[in-house]
Structure 1
Amino acid sequence: MNTCIYMIRHGESPKTEGNERTRGLSEKGRLDSEKIIELLKDEGITSFVSSPYKRAVMTIEGLAHFCGQEVSVIEDLKEFMFSTEDKVVGDQEVYAMVRKMFETPDYVPPMGESMTECQQRAVAALKEILTIYKGQRVAIGTHGLVMTLMMNHFDNQYGYEFLMNTSKPDIYKMEFNEDTLVNIDRICL
């Protein structure tokens, strides 16, 4: 039996409250998390894991509770570190750095990490999830760049252009046979 991973990019999150780890969802983000419940409630998802960032957890916890489950947090699924973990970085600055990093994957922003480092830690976490939850359907609360880097590891068509065309939230169902990717489908909200 194949393992299905539902990559669920977090909903809209205001960059005016808290820090990177603690900022939650906007009103639109909260409403979208309700839509995710309706969309995925019949998928047979049995396990829920997430980045430790509040916005990622909040995006999938309603679905987890609907399914009678809790969300397990995995530190290595955290957002790409653009700077110090607590500093909120504005969209314009982020997008400029992301473009540069896709052109030079080993570029390290000041006090951040390289795309290569981020991809290695996130893919290692995903491979562990594939082992632990083999044959199950698992929802992962994630971030756009981290999701893209995990998908890119298995299929290089998922790069900068793909990332720039994702939405908040967004859902991609990845189907694996053991640790080999066999299919990716976007589930539209």
Structure 2
Amino acid sequence: MVKCIYIIRHCEAQGQSSAASLTEEGFHQAEDLADFFADKKIDRIIASPFSRAIQTIEPLSNRGNIEIEIDERLSERILSTTDLPDWYEKLQATFTNMELKFEGGESSNEAMKRIVHVVEETLKSDVEHTIIVSHGNIITLLLKHYNSDVDFQVWTHLSNPDVFQLSVKDYEVSLEHIWE
């Protein structure tokens, strides 16, 4: 049996807060995303509790009558609870030093661990086709877990939305970027 997990980065949003909604364009992108998955079998949807992640997958959820399960572990990674004017450089540094963390934040390894647990639990379940909706930084860390070549530059090239397919057959993992 092949297990397939689609990893989706949310559509264009109005901001970074957990309550930030999709933009008008983001809502159109969510419909396009639902169209993209129209011919794919989906058994389960798991999403970050952030509004933009839920709104990204609602059109597909509604079309397929599939409940959206909320998992806090899919929340975006917290870089710091203090304002970091040089956040971009600090974020980049966390991809080089995976243990580096800033005040109130979590290291790359800590964030990676929580999203990997969601994926591992999904792979152990009886469900064959799952969608996971989350955020760019933590998704990049998940990709890095399965492909050590993934780095900060991969994060800079993600789109909103973006989709990766993680497939597992006979303990062999393959990862493919499938959104254009």
With normalisation by structure 1, the TM-score equals 0.87
2:123 alignment partner, one of 125, 130, 136: 130
Say if 1:133 and 1:109 are closer, same or farther in 2 by CA, change over 3 A: farther
Tell me, yes or no, if the aligned pair for 1:130 and 1:179 is still in contact at 8 Å.
no
| Corresponding position of 1:155 | 147
Match of 2:177 in 1: 186
Using the alignment, how far apart are the partners of 2:169 and 2:21 within structure 1? 34
Q: Is residue 2:165 matched to residue 1:173?
A: yes
Match of 1:65 in 2: 62
- Paired AA for residue 137 in structure 1: H
**Is the 2:5–2:130 contact (alpha carbons within 8 Å) kept by the matching residues of 1?**
yes
Contact 2:79 2:91 in 1 (8 A): no
What are structure 1's unaligned runs of at least 5 residues?
none
Q: Distance in 2 between matches of 1:94 and 1:35?
A: 32
The residue number in structure 1 matching 2:47 is 50
Give the deviation of 1:132 after TM superposition.
Answer: 2.0
The match for 2:96 is 103
Cα gap change, 1:179 to 1:13, in 2 (>3 Å): farther
CA 1:155–1:133 in structure 2 vs 1: closer, same or farther (change >3 Å)? farther
Q: Distance in 2 between matches of 1:35 and 1:76?
A: 26
Moved more, 169-178 or 67-76: 169-178
Q: Is 1:38 the equivalent of 2:38? A: no
Identity of aligned residues (%): 27
Which residue pairs with 1:143 in the alignment? 135
Q: Secondary structure at the match of 2:167?
A: strand
SS of corresponding position for 1:110: coil
For residue 129 of structure 1, report the CA deviation from its aligned partner.
1.4
Asked if the contact 2:48–2:133 (Cα under 8 Å) also holds between the matched residues in 1, the reply is yes
Q: CA offsets, 1:85-133, max 9 Å, x none?
A: xx8x78x744222201112111112111111111111111211111124
User: Would you say the 8 A contact 1:101–1:114 is kept in 2?
Assistant: yes
Residue 157 of structure 1 aligns to a residue whose secondary structure is coil
Q: TM-score, normalised by structure 2?
A: 0.92
Superposition misfits of 4+ residues, deviation over 6 angstroms: none
Compute the displacement of 1:21 (Å). Answer: 1.5
- Residues 141-169 of structure 1: CA distance to partner in whole angstroms, max 9, x if unpaired? 11111111112111112221111111011
